[in-house]
Amino acid sequence: MTVRQDLFNTISKVFQRHGGVTIDTPVFEMRDILSGKYGEDSKLIYDLADQGGEACSLRYDLTVPFARYLAMQGKKDAQQMKRYQIAKVYRRDQPIMTKGRLREFYQCDFDIAGAYDSMIPDAEILKILSDTMDAVNIPFHIKLNHRQILDGIFETCGVPSQQIRSISAAVDKLDKLPWQDVKKEMVEEKGLNEDVANRIGEYVQTVKDTSNLLDFLQNDDRLMSHSGASKGLADVKLLLEFLEIFNVRDRVKLDLSLARGLDYYTGIIYEAITDKSEGVGSIAAGGRYDNLVGMFSGTNKAGKPKTIPCVGVSIGVERVFSILMSRQNVNDIKSNATQVYVISVGDGLLKERMKLVQELWEAGINASFSFKNKPKLEKQWLACEKDQIPFAVIIGKEEIENGKIRIKDMRSKNSGQGGGFVLDRKDMIRELKKKVENKPFN
């Protein structure tokens, strides 16, 4: 939990740096709110038993509840925001602990809602993703695609409109399965014509660097005659220009096999992938979802849904956590925030120790002491060592009689009995505050 809380704090600082404000949403939503938003993964939603006529489900992610939240705000200025949320979500999945795949887990989301000029919010979202991974020191690269390019490929290859989402879900498995298995699913399980599947394969198996892949798509007259694909390509080019300014461009690679199976994406989609040595694959993902809020907000005077453009990213914090824990020696983790331990030499001096610790607490210093009337000195030293407490305040009869105390830095090599420096009792708080603030502990 110490490592996890440090991780949450680190991510929150990045989110706050980019102007994010935090909100919270309920753990459960009305079932109709969640249904039909996640494609084939909808089977992983935890549906609750009927409770007096209300059909509810546990939230599958933080994006759909956020869209519902935005729709409820009503006023436009309240629907234009940079929001972040760190909270648990639930999926009826098969857990794989070593890969951070769980049934109950945290997500860390950052979203930008509101109508802005093209690709500006998208660029900042990818910058936030990059800053977050840098802050936790995890090597990564970003796979990028555009839902309109992908849909344009499917349509020009001959995929019937009603099958586009299911075929997209199949293509999304290319990071885990070879093309032949994906093609088999499309043809044998989903009834797609084999020639159409082969044409799709020519695109999604094309591996080039981003510049050459952009040229490849630009020179495809048939694909560029598709208005959606043409717009998607223009979006990607503009986004890459902005990412160059944000120093993120070299981390992004256009990948036509990236599909993102969720139904609500409408534009840019992306995933952050770790180095193979980390063993967990994708650690963050997101995209643009301009129509999701409109599913909950009713219609305008023209009878059209009240849409609010949105773009966001979700950090796979459990996978990040599994990487960080694999790097940790558990014995090196300081599990409490105690800064000072009050030690008595000779007689137990219980009440004197209690008075000292009370002074420290009132001064805002995290302090502790032994709950024994007459603790053994050796056990007090061991308590400091065990809990990695950086400073000890030491008292004995002589110090009490002379109005003195002894302060010792327990992190020094000679942190055993004795040592430290003596000062007046009245100067204790000032000296300890100086040490605690100037010498942060981990």
SS3 424: strand
Residue 260 lies in domain: 1-327
Based on the fold, state whether residues 250 and 170 are members of the same structural domain. yes
Q: Is 107 annotated as a binding residue?
A: yes
Q: Is 111 annotated as a binding residue?
A: yes
Rounded distance, CA 97 to CA 45, Å? Answer: 19
User: What pLDDT score was predicted for residue 441?
Assistant: 32
SS3 274: strand
Q: Which of 298, 327, 356 is the last residue of a domain?
A: 327
User: What pLDDT score was predicted for residue 99?
Assistant: 61
Rounded distance, CA 194 to CA 209, Å? Answer: 28
Rounded distance, CA 351 to CA 357, Å? Answer: 10
Q: Give how far the C-alpha of residue 156 lies from the chain's centroid of Cα atoms, to the nearest Å.
A: 36
Q: Is 265 annotated as a binding residue?
A: yes
Tens digits of pLDDT across the chain (442 residues): 888 899 999 999 999 999 999 999 999 998 988 888 887 778 889 998 877 788 899 999 999 999 999 988 877 777 889 999 999 999 988 887 766 578 999 999 999 999 999 999 999 999 999 999 999 999 999 999 999 999 999 999 999 988 888 898 889 888 888 999 999 999 999 999 999 999 999 999 988 899 999 999 999 999 999 999 999 999 999 999 999 999 999 999 999 999 886 778 999 999 999 877 566 778 999 999 998 888 887 777 777 777 889 999 999 888 888 888 888 777 677 778 899 999 999 888 999 999 999 999 999 999 999 999 999 999 999 999 888 899 999 999 989 999 999 999 988 755 444 568 899 999 999 999 988 876 433 3
Q: Is 91 annotated as a binding residue?
A: yes
Based on the fold, state whether residues 351 and 386 are members of the same structural domain. yes
Q: 373, 354 in Cβ contact below 8 A?
A: no
Query: 98: buried, middle or exposed (CB in 10 Å: 19+, 13-18, 0-12)?
Result: exposed
Q: Is 260 annotated as a binding residue?
A: yes
User: What pLDDT score was predicted for residue 419?
Assistant: 64
Based on the fold, state whether residues 323 and 359 are members of the same structural domain. no
Query: 331: buried, middle or exposed (CB in 10 Å: 19+, 13-18, 0-12)?
Result: exposed
Q: Is 63 annotated as a binding residue?
A: yes
Q: Name the maximum alpha-carbon separation found in the chain.
A: 94
Based on the fold, state whether residues 378 and 317 are members of the same structural domain. no
Based on the fold, state whether residues 343 and 300 are members of the same structural domain. no
Rounded distance, CA 434 to CA 437, Å? Answer: 5
Q: How many domains does the chain have?
A: 2
User: What pLDDT score was predicted for residue 303?
Assistant: 74
Rounded distance, CA 281 to CA 176, Å? Answer: 10
Contacts of 15 (CB under 8 A, 6+ apart): 22, 84, 108, 110, 128, 132
Based on the fold, state whether residues 238 and 305 are members of the same structural domain. yes
Based on the fold, state whether residues 148 and 267 are members of the same structural domain. yes
Q: 389, 407 in Cβ contact below 8 A?
A: no
The 3-class secondary structure across 220-254, one letter per residue, is CHHHHCCHHHHHHHHHHHHHHHHHHHCCCHHHEEE
Q: Which of 286, 303, 327 is the last residue of a domain?
A: 327
User: What pLDDT score was predicted for residue 313?
Assistant: 96
User: What pLDDT score was predicted for residue 438?
Assistant: 64
Based on the fold, state whether residues 192 and 279 are members of the same structural domain. yes
Based on the fold, state whether residues 342 and 321 are members of the same structural domain. no
SS3 264: coil
User: What pLDDT score was predicted for residue 439?
Assistant: 47
CATH classification at residue 271: 3.30.930.10
Based on the fold, state whether residues 23 and 76 are members of the same structural domain. yes
CATH classification at residue 382: 3.40.50.800
Q: Is 93 annotated as a binding residue?
A: no
Q: 203, 193 in Cβ contact below 8 A?
A: no
Based on the fold, state whether residues 297 and 358 are members of the same structural domain. no
Based on the fold, state whether residues 226 and 166 are members of the same structural domain. yes
